[in-house]
Amino acid sequence: MQVQAAAAERTRALRQMTGERLQQAQQERIIAQEKGEAILKSELALSSTAEDPITAIAKQRDYFSKLGAQNASFDEQLEMIDIGKTFALEEQGLASQQRLIGINQPIIDPMRPRGLGISDALSVASGGLRGYQMGQQLSGGMGGVSTDINPPRGPVRIGGKTYNWEPVNVT
């Protein structure tokens, strides 16, 4: 069971990391397309200038300057994406490692209640005999205190009143 759970966790982690890398590749592709579009716009703008050569060179330098700033921005975005994905992959790796540690913990056998051993049986029997002996002593069977009930005979006087006592037959 643990082996299967560990294999499933590794597969899950690899799929998640692959998903992160695919997302990163998609973001890089979008930035590359934007970069290509910016270059095409600059080339189109340069080709459409039909002015004197000095003005054309100034415009060309301006376009290249803007294109360089855009490329620097695109490169920064790519770098931040790369750093963010690296952190995300490290976090996923650590989380997966923690889950694998939890999966691979040894399974402790559940504690089973002890059965009655010979010493337990003897202890119970000894206690029972002591209880029987005490009961016999109390009832006078072994020369102890008598527990017989001697009901009164005839009228009984309690608190200034007289009561007739009659035994009740219980069958």
pLDDT digits (tens, 9 = 90+) for 57-72: 777 788 888 888 888 8
Angle of helix 53-103 relative to helix 2-47, nearest 10 degrees?
A: 180
- Residue 7 confidence (pLDDT): 87
**Dihedral sign, CA of 58, 59, 65, 68?**
negative
Residue 117 is assigned to a structural domain of this protein: no
Q: Whole domain around residue 23: which residue ranges?
A: 2-103
Domain presence at residue 134: no
Q: Looking at the domain assignment, is residue 136 inside a domain? A: no
Q: What is the dihedral of CA 100, 106, 107, 108, to 10 degrees?
A: -150
Which pLDDT does position 112 carry in this prediction? 61
**pLDDT of 147 strictly over 60:** no
pTM, two decimal places: 0.49
Which two structure tokens, joined as six digits, stand for 52?
């004197």
Sign of CA dihedral 162, 166, 167, 168: negative
- What is the arithmetic mean of pLDDT over 89-115? 79
Angle at 133 between CA 127 and CA 137, to 5 degrees: 145
CA angle 54, 57, 58 (to 5 degrees): 90
157 token code pair: 């006087």
Asked if the structure places residue 8 within a domain, the reply is yes
**Does 151 score more than 70 pLDDT?**
no
**Averaged pLDDT score across all residues of the chain:** 79
Cβ atoms of residues 92 and 16 within 8 Å: yes
Q: How many domains does the chain have?
A: 1
Q: Is residue 167 part of a domain?
A: no
Residue (of 39, 113, 119, 95) closest to 71 by Cα position: 39
Query: How far is 20 from 25, CA to CA, in rounded Å?
Result: 9
Give mean pLDDT, residues 33-41: 87
Mean pLDDT, residues 77-99 taken together: 90
Q: What is the mean pLDDT of residues 41-45?
A: 78
Q: How confident is the model at residue 33 (pLDDT cuts 50, 70, 90)?
A: very high
C-beta of residue 147 within 8 angstroms of C-beta of residue 156:
no
